[in-house]
């Protein structure tokens, strides 16, 4: 990679990806409408354009794409509840299709799509591998699935090399306090900082696979640098290890508060053998270590 575009590069995962690419002396262009991203997340060494890729005129993209070899598409409205309340909002699909099409026309070498484990819905078995049945439970998850299918189509029909990464529960630097990517880690972190009881949904025995944003970034860079064509391939990005919400609360310490009820999958654990074997990727960050570091500072 020499020159890349990161859509959503002012967001949680996107901004961390930009920082790492800049460290590797790669030229980065950020496209972000700042609807969920933040200006303070933007690396000053990147080229930033405030724009909405879901409705930009195709001709507007052309000058941006000169000598671009890789597109990392992270731009999305990451809000499950919003998508349920606004099922006709197809901006996430429009942005993906626009970026795929301009990548095809301008012969970008590789397109990396940030998908989600939400496409699986309620798991029939765990750990969840890439062949697990698909059952999206919200328009947001459905759009991620359709996005994967568009990537495969553009690889098969137009020979654009694409790859899709299904993230599990992300945490780490700049994690959001709202939206679909808001995890129990973010909630507990905020409550712990304010000396409040840790609010536990349901009985707290639901298990989640938490993956640090730095490990997600390494997965993105590995798939971008691989010499073989992906042709729409899909990889889970998770640790393969899960903790109950109660166990995570114990890592933070302090009082717990039960009461809120919510319909949610009981367990969500990634099978990551494919990405480990194919890309030699291995998560390096430990959730307990990260929580201990945070709690010791407060």
Q: What is the DSSP letter of 239?
A: -
Q: In terms of DSSP bridges, do strands 47-50 and 27-32 run parallel, antiparallel, or are they unpaired? A: parallel
Cβ proximity of 164 and 236 under 8 Å: no
158 is known as an active-site residue:
no
At 133, give phi and psi (nearest 5°): -55, 145
Catalytic pick among 120, 140, 192, 243: 140
Q: Which of 193, 192, 190, 187 is nearest to 262 (CA)?
A: 187
**Strands in the chain per DSSP E:** 3-7, 27-32, 47-50, 70-73, 110-116, 161-167, 169-171, 198-200, 207-208, 210-212, 233-237, 243-244, 256-258, 267-268
| Paired tokens of 260 | 């809120």
- Residue in this structure with the two tokens 């166990």, named with its chain if needed: 247
Dihedrals phi, psi of 64, to nearest 5 degrees: -70, -25
Residues annotated as catalytic (active site), given as ranges = 140
């Amino acid at each position: 990679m020499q020159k890349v575009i990161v859509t959503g590069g002012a967001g949680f995962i996107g901004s961390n990806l930009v920082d790492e690419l800049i460290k590797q002396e790669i030229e980065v262009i950020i496209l972000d409408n700042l609807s969920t991203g933040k200006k303070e997340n933007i690396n000053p060494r990147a080229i930033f354009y405030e724009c909405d890729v879901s409705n930009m005129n195709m001709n507007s993209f052309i000058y941006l794409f000169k000598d671009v070899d890789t597109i990392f598409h992270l731009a999305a409205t990451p809000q499950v509840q919003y998508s349920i309340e606004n099922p006709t909002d197809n901006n996430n699909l429009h942005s993906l299709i626009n970026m795929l099409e301009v990548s095809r026309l301008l012969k970008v070498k590789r397109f990396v799509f940030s998908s989600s484990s939400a496409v699986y819905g309620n798991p029939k078995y765990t750990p969840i591998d890439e062949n697990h049945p698909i059952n999206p439970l919200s328009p947001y998850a459905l759009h991620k699935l359709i996005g994967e299918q568009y990537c495969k189509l553009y690889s098969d029909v137009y020979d654009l090399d694409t790859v899709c990464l299904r993230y599990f529960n992300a945490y780490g630097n700049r994690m959001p306090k709202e939206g679909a990517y808001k995890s129990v880690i973010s909630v507990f972190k905020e409550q712990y900082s304010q000396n409040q009881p840790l609010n536990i949904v349901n009985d707290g025995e639901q298990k989640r696979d938490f993956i640090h944003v730095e490990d997600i970034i390494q997965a993105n860079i590995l798939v971008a640098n691989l010499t073989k064509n992906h042709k729409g391939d899909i990889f889970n990005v998770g640790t393969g290890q899960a903790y109950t919400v109660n166990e995570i609360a114990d890592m933070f310490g302090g009082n717990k508060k039960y009461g809120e009820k919510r319909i949610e999958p009981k367990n969500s654990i990634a099978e990551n053998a494919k990405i480990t074997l194919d890309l030699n990727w291995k998560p390096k960050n430990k959730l307990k270590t990260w929580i201990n570091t945070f709690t010791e500072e407060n």
